[in-house]
Amino acid sequence: MLGAVRPHSWDPALFLHVLGAMVFVGALVAAAVALLAASRDEDGARLRRLAFRTLLFVGLPAYVAMMVGAEWITSKEGFGGENDPTWLVIGIVVGDLTGLFLVMAIVLAGIASWKSKTDLGRATGALTTVALIACVVAVWAMTSKPA
C-alpha cells in the first residue's frame, strides 16, 4: 500500500534505479555463466572476452544507472541520515560492495581474456557469482523491507 501513496514525481527516479538494477543483475548472470563455462571449454578465450565486454559495456553503465537512481530516490524520500531503515542500509552496503566486486571483476576478466588465463577466468566467475548473490540479498531487502 505504501507504493500507492508515493507521489508520481518520484517515478522516474525509482524507474531508473529498478531498470539499472535489473540490467546489472542480467549482466552479472551473463558474465558469470560465460566465465564458468569458459573454464570447462578447451578454447574458452571467446567466452572470457564476452564476459569482459558484458561487464564493461553493460554491467558498468547499468551499475551507474542503478546507483544514480538510488541516490535520486533516496534524496526524494528524505532518507540519508542516521535513522535509515534496515533495508536501505542493506541496499547501500550491497551496492557499494558490488561496485567494488564489479571493478575487480572487470580488471580480472580483462586480464584473463588478454592473457588467456583459465584459472583467473574461473576466479573471476566466482567473484561475479558472489556479487550476484549479494544482489539477491539486496533484492530481498528492497522487496521485503525487514525492520
CA distances from 35 to 100, 104, 119, 130 (A): 18, 14, 10, 13
Q: What is the pLDDT of residue 11?
A: 86
Q: Are 108 and 124 in contact (CB under 8 A)?
A: yes
Below-50 pLDDT ranges, the chain:
1
Distance CA 132, CA 25 (A): 7
pTM for the full predicted model: 0.89
Q: What is the pLDDT of residues 15-50, one digit of tens each?
A: 999 999 999 999 999 999 999 898 887 778 899 999
Predicted local confidence at residue 79, as pLDDT: 83
- Residue 2: predicted pLDDT: 53
Q: Residue 68 has which C-alpha cell?
A: 544514480
Q: What is the pLDDT of residue 83?
A: 83
- Compute how many other C-beta atoms are within 10 angstroms of the C-beta atom of residue 51: 32
**pLDDT attached to residue 40:** 82
**How high is the pLDDT of residue 127?**
95
Task: Output the pLDDT for position 42.
Answer: 73
